[in-house]
């Protein structure tokens, strides 16, 4: 019977050196990849993007001589992996004068970023009404949609101020379109908790789609019932005629969402709007069951309003 011999010291050293070298190159390649995709390494933006983002119109005009193709997608800088144009950078910064100059120099308002968004979508989400109007004045399409189906109006409804929403609505924005998740601008505004934006959309005709559900079956009222600090939005939607008893794909009603939050005020508002406390979800739980399951003072207060 043969007996294996211990590995020689020199062979052990060679194996360790090879393994160490492999690990070194693997870590080096990984670090390079992370720097490239922007996940950890800071990514510098081209000078013209930086100038546009800061609203330095003179610098933009100067840099445009070095970068004549103003519709070329460039790194946006920082940790973002999105490639944008100078016009998009100026739109996000809300710099109407810089936007006007870039359009004058030939920039197109319809160029799309690496995520499929046009300048007006960025202006709606991160800019201001002046930047939106500057783009609209030069023919920007108000209903352009990104790869995710979001329009400028949806982004303004989610994170914009009332002036941005009004600028888009005044330009004839279509409010009955849905994004890839089936959400409308009203649904998104309700989720954000903004009474002003919800009211503006209702006044613009969103009452006709007040009970539209997203892909999960949730409605705007369901979002208002479960989202932070949206009691005002909830009462606003209920007052506009929203149905408080529409359940989502899991059988959850707005009343269950409010009960799960332990929000007695919202529970009371929904009950006054004829929400049915006897409805059960797919697992047989009522709104009261959801409130009780919290096992805290808020849950007990909400449960006290619901029949056993």
201-240: pLDDT as tens digits? 999 999 999 999 999 999 999 999 998 877 999 999 999 9
Segments forming the whole domain that contains residue 157 = 46-174
pLDDT at 152: 98
Question: Is residue 161 a part of any domain in this protein?
Answer: yes
- Residue 157 tokens, joined: 């409804």
Question: Is residue 8 a part of any domain in this protein?
Answer: no
Q: What is the mean pLDDT of residues 139-150?
A: 97
Domain count, the chain: 2
Angle at 110 between CA 106 and CA 115, to 5 degrees: 125
Instruction: For residue 74, report the phi and psi dihedrals to the nearest 5 degrees.
Output: -130, 160
Single residue among 174, 201, 234 that ends a domain in this structure: 174
Question: Is residue 66 a part of any domain in this protein?
Answer: yes
Question: Is residue 291 a part of any domain in this protein?
Answer: yes
- Residue 19 tokens, joined: 């393994």
pLDDT band (50, 70, 90) for residue 45:
confident
pLDDT at 79: 64
CATH number, residue 74? 1.25.40.20
Question: Is residue 298 a part of any domain in this protein?
Answer: yes
pLDDT at 16: 43
Residue with the two structure tokens 């609505």: 169
Question: Is residue 14 a part of any domain in this protein?
Answer: no
Mean pLDDT, the chain, rounded, equals 88
Single residue among 149, 174, 199 that ends a domain in this structure: 174
Read off the pLDDT of residues 265-288 as tens digits, 9 standing for 90 and up: 999 999 999 999 999 999 999 999
Q: What is the mean pLDDT of residues 284-297?
A: 97
DSSP string, 111-123: ---TTS--HHHHH
Same domain as 265, residue 145: no
Single residue among 141, 174, 207 that ends a domain in this structure: 174
Question: Is residue 6 a part of any domain in this protein?
Answer: no
Same domain as 308, residue 192: yes
pLDDT at 9: 42
295: number of Cβ within 10 Å: 8
Same domain as 64, residue 161: yes
Any idea which of 34-38, 64-68, 122-126, 231-235 has the lowest mean pLDDT? 34-38
Half-sphere exposure (CA, 13 Å, Cβ side) for 250? 10
Question: Is residue 194 a part of any domain in this protein?
Answer: yes
Same domain as 196, residue 165: no
Beta-strand pair 74-75/83-84: antiparallel
């Amino acid at each position: 019977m043969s007996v294996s011999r211990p590995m020689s010291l020199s062979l052990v050293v060679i194996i360790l050196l090879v393994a160490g070298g492999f690990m070194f190159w693997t870590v080096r390649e990984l670090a390079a990849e992370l720097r490239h995709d922007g996940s950890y390494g800071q990514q510098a933006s081209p000078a013209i993007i930086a100038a546009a983002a800061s609203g330095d119109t003179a610098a933009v005009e100067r840099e445009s001589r070095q970068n004549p193709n103003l519709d070329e997608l460039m790194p946006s800088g920082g940790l973002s992996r999105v490639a944008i144009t100078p016009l998009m950078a100026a739109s996000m910064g809300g710099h109407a004068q810089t936007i006007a100059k870039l359009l004058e120099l030939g920039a197109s308002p319809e160029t799309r970023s690496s995520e499929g968004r046009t300048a007006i979508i960025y202006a709606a989400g991160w800019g201001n009404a002046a930047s939106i109007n500057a783009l609209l004045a030069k023919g920007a399409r108000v209903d352009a949609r990104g790869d995710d189906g979001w329009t400028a109006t949806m982004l303004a409804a989610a994170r914009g101020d009332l002036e941005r929403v009004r600028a888009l609505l005044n330009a004839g924005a279509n409010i009955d379109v849905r994004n890839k998740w089936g959400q409308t601008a009203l649904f998104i505004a309700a989720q954000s908790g903004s009474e002003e934006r919800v009211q503006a959309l209702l006044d613009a005709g969103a009452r006709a789609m007040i009970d539209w559900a997203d892909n999960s079956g949730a409605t705007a009222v369901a979002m208002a019932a479960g989202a932070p600090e949206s009691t005002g939005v909830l009462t606003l939607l209920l007052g506009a005629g929203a149905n408080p008893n529409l359940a989502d794909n899991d059988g959850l009603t707005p009343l269950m969402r409010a009960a799960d939050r332990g929000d007695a005020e919202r529970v009371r508002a929904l009950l006054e709007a004829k929400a049915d406390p006897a409805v059960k979800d797919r697992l047989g739980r009522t709104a009261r069951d959801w409130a009780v399951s919290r096992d805290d003072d808020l849950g007990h207060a909400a449960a006290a309003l619901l029949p056993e």
